[in-house]
């Protein structure tokens, strides 16, 4: 009796295993599939697949390429890259078990691999289950009938969607309000101090404000930034956002307009003008320059995208910029883990907390339906409802919101004796005893003394009325909880932690001095 593998080998002969010289991906990249290394360059993504690194026989490699050609023509590059990654993972395991390169995938190999996976990792096999079924359906050598029968019997759970949001994961989940405030404050400070440039500033600001996918930022051009005037003479700013993840649509074929707050709009328009100016001699129409250009030039990409960054390079840039801000999490006490999708999850989470439904959240995040946004409504993560003195003192050292230096008194200040540099307020001391000194010696435009506690130029006095400031802010928060809502009441939470840290450090200094006599 002829076994199923032999039949599969025989039937595969009727299929054309010749490879074309050029294949075009769904996104417009062209490559030669006859080569072992496929370099696919689309407008906002670049993928490299090396079939020479797959531990399979030459006959099976040819069949694999034929199947991957179909996926390249019908699916996204990210999907293609994902299939290759998990197929390679499976094949590497199989070779480690048998010590031989793979000539076909058998039911025994699938069962062995499945047995080694933890339940949470079943999606490793689930990710390539569809690939194997498609491979078998196309009647190419490499997948035994029994392997498909086993795959149909196994219950393969996918990668659990929304888990990071539901659990408010401190590593990959949404940022808390305090973490968002810390990023924003550090971003403003770094821009003012010229630690980051205008382009870096607006990139992070857009991630904070819009929650788009990295690919959408990568596709932006300077012509997408708009400004206009309303009937009453107010200037309004907007950005035309390319839609993403739409099947059978080319990059930048569909857009959504998003309004921007004035400050972000002004800076973004200025950045777009500077980029456009820099491309005057490089492009016939400098308005088609990328909003966030690459430093060099990308080759073999669709026309019009030679200077665009990829979604991956933009994500790396985002992580590097925010990393320079040295923002710490009040949950872990460690520097924030930064990735593009945490910003996206944060926008969805904030919208849910503010009471928006699934339709609004889907619109904000540019989903075509609501099936993937229900997780935000289900999670409804609450920011801290109550902050008393004890909680503030406990969270303060983790949040690292206080950035100044405590001094004994004005004699240690940079501008000692200058009344204009003293920070005081009758609300906290009727005799106008200063909380400290300002070492910036200039008008900053912020609301002193509350805003001072997060400023690096603030020099709080050891015996300043910081406890009174802390009590005032906590009481004000309680009042707002009654008269408005938690969202409004939490606006000054990071300032509360900054003041609490000053109170805590002052007490430590006094305790040490008292202990030493």
Contact call for residues 259 and 236 (beta carbons, < 8 A)? yes
**pLDDT over 90 percentage in the chain:** 56
422-475 tens-digit pLDDT: 999 988 888 888 999 998 865 666 677 888 999 888 999 999 999 999 999 999
CA 253/CA 26 separation, integer angstroms:
14
In the chain, what is the greatest distance between 2 CA atoms, to the nearest angstrom? 103
SS3 90: helix
Following DSSP, what letter does each residue of 347-416 receive, concatenated?
A: HHHHHHHTT--HHHHHHHTT-SSSTTTHHHHHH-PPPPS---HHHHHHHHHHHT---S--BSSGGGSTTT
SS3 112: helix
pLDDT category at 376 given cuts 50, 70, 90 is low
CA 438/CA 415 separation, integer angstroms:
8
Pinpoint the alpha helices (H) of 99-160.
107-116, 123-137, 145-153
130-140 tens-digit pLDDT: 999 999 999 99
Q: Using the predicted structure, report yes or no on whether residue 6 has a pLDDT greater than 60.
A: no
CA 187/CA 194 separation, integer angstroms:
10
Q: Give the pLDDT score at 383.
A: 54
> Tokens for 289?
């320059």
pLDDT category at 285 given cuts 50, 70, 90 is very high
Contact call for residues 496 and 477 (beta carbons, < 8 A)? yes
Q: Using the predicted structure, report yes or no on whether residue 3 has a pLDDT greater than 60.
A: no
Range list of β-strands (E), 247-381: 255-260
Q: Give the pLDDT score at 377.
A: 65
Q: Using the predicted structure, report yes or no on whether residue 517 has a pLDDT greater than 60.
A: no
- In CATH, the number for domain 163-379 is 1.10.443.10
Mean predicted confidence (pLDDT) in 215-229 = 95
> In this structure, is the dihedral angle defined by the CA atoms of residues 180, 185, 191 and 195, taken in order, positive or negative?
negative
What's the alpha-carbon Rg for the chain, to the nearest Å?
Answer: 29
Task: Estimate the crossing angle of helix 58-74 against helix 123-137, to 10 degrees.
Answer: 100
For residue 204, give every residue at least 6 positions away whose Cβ sits within 8 Å of its Cβ, in sequence order, or none.
183, 187, 196, 318, 321, 322
Q: Give the pLDDT score at 28.
A: 84
Helix (H) or strand (E) holding 321: helix 311-325
Q: Give the pLDDT score at 245.
A: 65
For residue 137, give every residue at least 6 positions away whose Cβ sits within 8 Å of its Cβ, in sequence order, or none.
none
CA distances from 10 to 6, 15, 230, 423 (A): 6, 10, 72, 87
107 burial via Cβ count (<10 Å: 0-12, 13-18, 19+) = middle
CA 65/CA 38 separation, integer angstroms:
10
Q: Using the predicted structure, report yes or no on whether residue 286 has a pLDDT greater than 60.
A: yes
Q: Give the pLDDT score at 119.
A: 86
Least confident of 158-167, 268-277, 481-490, 501-510: 158-167
User: What is the pairing mode between strands 23-24 and 225-229?
Assistant: unpaired
CA 514/CA 517 separation, integer angstroms:
5
230-276 tens-digit pLDDT: 888 899 999 999 987 655 566 788 899 999 999 999 999 999 999 99
Domain boundaries, the chain: 4-153, 163-379, 389-515
Give ∠ CA 351-314-37 in degrees, rounded to 5. 125
460 phi-psi bin (left φ>0, alpha ψ -120 to 50, beta other): beta
164-201 tens-digit pLDDT: 777 778 888 889 888 999 999 999 999 999 999 999 99
Q: What's the pTM value of the predicted model, to 2 decimals?
A: 0.77
* Mean predicted lDDT score pLDDT of the chain: 87
């Amino acid at each position: 009796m002829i076994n199923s593998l032999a039949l599969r080998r025989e039937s595969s002969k009727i299929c054309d295993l010749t490879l074309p010289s050029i294949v075009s991906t769904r996104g417009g990249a062209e490559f030669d599939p006859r080569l072992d290394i496929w370099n696919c360059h689309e407008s906002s993504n670049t993928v490299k697949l090396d079939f020479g690194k797959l531990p399979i026989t030459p006959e099976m490699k040819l069949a694999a390429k034929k199947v991957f050609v179909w996926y390249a023509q019908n699916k996204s590059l990210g999907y293609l890259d994902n299939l290759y990654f998990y197929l390679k993972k499976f094949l590497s395991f199989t070779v480690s078990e048998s010590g031989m390169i793979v000539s076909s995938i058998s039911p025994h190999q699938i069962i062995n691999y499945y047995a080694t996976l933890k339940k949470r990792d079943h999606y490793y096999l689930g990710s390539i289950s569809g690939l194997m079924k498609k491979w078998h359906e196309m009647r190419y050598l490499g997948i035994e009938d029994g392997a498909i029968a086993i795959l149909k019997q196994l219950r393969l759970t996918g990668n659990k969607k929304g888990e990071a949001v539901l659990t408010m994961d401190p590593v990959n989940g949404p940022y808390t309000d305090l973490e968002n405030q810390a990023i924003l404050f550090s971003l403003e400070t770094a821009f003012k101090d010229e630690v980051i440039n205008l382009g870096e500033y607006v990139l992070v600001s857009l991630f904070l404000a819009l929650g788009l996918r990295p690919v959408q930022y990568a596709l932006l051009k300077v012509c997408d930034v708009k400004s206009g005037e309303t009937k009453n003479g107010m200037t309004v700013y907007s950005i035309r956002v390319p839609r993403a993840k739409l099947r059978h649509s080319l990059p930048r074929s569909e857009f959504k307009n998003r309004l921007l707050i004035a400050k972000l709009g002004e800076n973004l328009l200025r950045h777009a003008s500077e980029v456009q100016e820099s491309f005057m001699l490089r492009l016939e129409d400098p308005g088609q320059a990328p909003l966030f250009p690459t430093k060099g030039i990308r080759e073999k990409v669709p026309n019009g995208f030679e200077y665009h960054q990829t979604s991956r390079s933009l994500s790396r840039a985002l992580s590097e910029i925010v990393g320079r801000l040295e923002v710490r999490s009040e949950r872990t006490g460690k520097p924030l883990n930064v990735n593009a999708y945490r910003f996206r999850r944060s926008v969805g989470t904030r919208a849910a907390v503010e009471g928006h439904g699934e339709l609004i959240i889907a619109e904000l995040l540019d989903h075509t339906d609501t099936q993937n946004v229900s997780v935000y409504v289900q999670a409804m993560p609450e920011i801290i409802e109550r902050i008393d003195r004890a909680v503030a003192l406990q969270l303060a050292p983790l949040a690292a919101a206080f950035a100044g230096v405590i001094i004994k008194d004005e004699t240690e200040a940079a501008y000692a004796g200058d009344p204009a540099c003293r920070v005081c307020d009758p609300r906290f001391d009727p005799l106008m005893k200063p909380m400290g000194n300002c070492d910036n010696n200039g008008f900053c435009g912020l609301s002193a003394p509350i805003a001072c506690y997060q400023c690096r130029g603030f020099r709080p006095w050891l015996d300043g009325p910081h406890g009174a400031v802390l009590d005032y802010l906590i009481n004000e928060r309680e009042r707002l909880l009654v008269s408005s809502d938690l969202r409004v009441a939490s606006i000054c939470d990071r300032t509360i932690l900054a003041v609490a840290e000053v109170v805590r450090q002052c007490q430590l200094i006094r305790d040490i001095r008292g202990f030493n006599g």
